[in-house]
Structure 1
């Protein structure tokens, strides 16, 4: 029996802890996250977008995998250009702003069960710096502080020609919820307006300035009425408003300061609770009920941003590491679902995303590589295809046998086995053959035995395979 070379995350003299400190400089640090309904999206400093969790309705925007109900580890959307920011409606539809100011979309398609929209650019949009979306209609913040809006046809999936929202200028942040939009301007004032599509055209109420608020530096919306913001001294404010029958906006709850003892950097609102990130990098959860105090989330330090989903939460620390906690039945937290109740009651670091390059190019695969027991395992069929090989399966009473053909070399193996046969000669595998999210996974070191050059960069978490 021949011993297979082991390709693992410890193949470098530098430890994972040491290499993590350099992730920000290398671009692998996460800078933004979005917790959707049972799924998650993350943006890294290098502009790449990664997604994980439920894919039952095509939420992840991954081609040809709507039959796969969820992704257990972050998978890269390789057809997107480098992005500067991302946004989600929370229910499967995402937008992103590319570094050239164009807008891209991906995710579930309304009206189409289990279909996905792979990443594509939206026409007629340029010079955009930020977006927010309710899927049916979306809004973009121009680099000049103006606001544009467009509709999405629920049948064709096409977007309308963008139009300008009048009455707004010098806007620096947009937030949307239900049928209304909040806009924060450079002076710290908050403007609110509603949108409707009664005749299949976009109509906006006249934006009104919310009175009684100090100058704010960040805002977050929750549902049809409530909104939150952080002022420049670190206080959190809440206000509520409705649309009167005349079409004008009416403030029905005056702005009030909440949790005044905390010095807050950012607030992230969700249904029934909010996350407060303090200036010290702590995270606090608050249910908004009178007389109740915010509760500190233990195990988090130096947090710089977060996202509050309906059932799970995400946070990013100063090194760009993402932590998740809450419901994890669909792997949305970023780790494999546990065998118990599917909950992660304390924050856990998500599985480190792994980039795969084949012959120097990104692997156009819909399945992620995974670090399993300190060994990198990869989707064998996708890699074989890019190398010019093939993978076939044959089923007998003894089970399913897989045959990997690469050039003149044949490798056979079975699920669950830590052995493979190359040209009939038995060899050990550094990790058993497994199936994850419908993909057959083998140790990356197997391709080294086939004559390929296999390199692992622990700093970039990047696997490179060069064909022979």
Structure 2
């Protein structure tokens, strides 16, 4: 039986949350990363800017972005999660250690109170915090603040540059190289002086676009040459009454105020695009297009991720879409993320359901699980993995963080067993077995007993993992709340000692 959260932890979490919310309300800039990561009881909604009681309101996703074989998602508590390929450190969860891929969401460390996200290419990711600051990560980089940008509400990233839309309707652009070999291309943020009253921005390579409040569209070019400023924006004369634009490989798609899509090819010719649909959002990538209609249906055209054009029949009540390089994503009204298409690196959010690493029907991605150790949020490049039977936890990392010991025993290079030891209690786990041996001291004798785990010890994303029940057997108090995406592990003996 799972234990309940302690009153001490809940009280601490309420205090910290109140401090953060008060700071944001009065306009000052307080970074949650600088505060203790204690167990939360209230949640900041990244979509609405409001807070709600987390004990009665399940967590959910509020925004999604697709990139080259990976996904970035924003959760309702203002945290950012990612899954998919990490061969080149594109997920941005560690500066040095890489692993092939993960379908279990990993929380981006030291990044809280986020209201907007962007992802493109292989590791060029960015986010806007509630205080208006912009942060970048990926390509082996941990989150770093972009100096000189404040009061932002939207950010976009691309191979050649990044741009932020400020709350006053102005646009700033800069260049932060993903890899150290391109450091000479760095360009500090600068305002695009002729642009005002902007409501949306988009990018494709060196070409950037901005939509004004009056419905006009403007285009300019970002240079990839050091010391060269962006070009002066020019008006796209063929377009008017536009609410948003989406560049593709060979054209520009524009959504007008009546929900109709127009296509502007590279010669400047304007044509209607699927005017039988009433559209509220467009996204595109690598030769294909996603359309989200006002009634929550999803359509896809071009060189689609499954090879099939038209309506994605398995989806309904969708509020957001995202086109990855070879996988597609949809966000439902209840905040669930659905992925389909290429899944070789599990970018769709689940193990591939067919040969060749493909997912032909949308699969639901996990929510992502925060782990709190004695009231402090545990941050690691290895995430908790929710399975059908239990939650698998990275054994060595969790053990080290709580002061336990984790050892691997081998005979002639073959693993015989795994040992977890904490305060006189030892669990011996065996490969491919759910039965484990528990040894502990009792007065003057040593006791042994067999315990049954729901799953054997395993390996996810390059880390050896154990079912959380193994830590319970060590005498720790464990609570798993699926709707809140939270697991707490506490040493009640330490808590009682500290409270005396």
For the aligned pair, the TM-score class normalised by the smaller chain equals 0.7 to 0.9
Counterpart residue number, 2:207: 180
Counterpart residue number, 2:263: 238
Q: 1:107 aligns with which of 138, 153, 163?
A: 138
Counterpart residue number, 2:193: 166
2:317 aligned with 1:302: yes
Counterpart residue number, 1:123: 147
| 1:319-330 equivalence runs, <5 A | 319-330=334-345
Give me the TM-score of the superposition, normalised by structure 1: 0.86
Deviations 1:386-405 (A, max 9, x none): 21112121211452422112
Deviations 1:282-335 (A, max 9, x none): 00011189xxx9600011011111111121001001111000000000010000
2:207 aligned with 1:207: no
Q: 1:262 to 1:186 in 2, by over 3 A?
A: same
Q: 1:167 to 1:287 in 2, by over 3 A?
A: same
The root-mean-square deviation of aligned C-alpha atoms, in Å, is 2.3
Contact residue 64 and residue 331 of structure 2 kept, 8 A: yes
Counterpart residue number, 1:244: none
Higher RCO (C-alpha 8 Å, min separation 6)? 1
Q: 1:356 aligns with which of 357, 360, 371?
A: 371
Counterpart residue number, 1:341: 356
Q: Using the alignment, how far apart are the partners of 1:27 and 1:47 within structure 2?
A: 14
2:114 aligned with 1:83: yes
Offset at residue 135 of structure 1 (A): 4.1
Structure 1 stretches lacking a partner, 5+ long:
8-21, 109-115, 242-251
Counterpart residue number, 2:495: none
Contact residue 23 and residue 29 of structure 1 kept, 8 A: no
Q: Using the alignment, how far apart are the partners of 1:45 and 1:402 within structure 2?
A: 37
Contact residue 95 and residue 141 of structure 2 kept, 8 A: no
Counterpart residue number, 1:26: 57
Q: 2:459 aligns with which of 435, 441, 445?
A: 435
Contact residue 84 and residue 99 of structure 1 kept, 8 A: yes
Offset at residue 446 of structure 1 (A): 1.6
Counterpart residue number, 1:11: none
Q: 1:369 to 1:135 in 2, by over 3 A?
A: same
Deviations 1:409-465 (A, max 9, x none): 222212322122121432111111111111111111221111111111132121111
Counterpart residue number, 2:326: 311
Q: 1:368 to 1:99 in 2, by over 3 A?
A: same
Q: 2:224 aligns with which of 180, 190, 197?
A: 197
Q: 1:155 aligns with which of 181, 198, 217?
A: 181
Counterpart residue number, 1:413: 429
Counterpart residue number, 1:144: 168
Moved over 3 A (4+): 22-27, 64-67, 153-160
Secondary structure at the residue paired with 2:64? strand
Counterpart residue number, 2:18: none
Secondary structure at the residue paired with 2:484? coil
Offset at residue 365 of structure 1 (A): 1.5
Offset at residue 360 of structure 1 (A): 1.5
Q: 2:390 aligns with which of 353, 363, 375?
A: 375
2:409 aligned with 1:394: yes
Contact residue 65 and residue 366 of structure 1 kept, 8 A: no
Q: Using the alignment, how far apart are the partners of 2:96 and 2:456 within structure 1?
A: 24
Counterpart residue number, 2:444: none
Q: Give 1 or 2: higher helix fraction.
A: 2
Contact residue 27 and residue 44 of structure 1 kept, 8 A: no
Offset at residue 163 of structure 1 (A): 1.0
Give me the TM-score of the superposition, normalised by structure 2: 0.81
Offset at residue 257 of structure 1 (A): 1.4
Mean CA deviation greater in 406-415 or 173-182? 406-415
2:53 aligned with 1:42: no
Offset at residue 260 of structure 1 (A): 0.8
Offset at residue 25 of structure 1 (A): 7.7
2:232 aligned with 1:216: no
Offset at residue 81 of structure 1 (A): 2.0
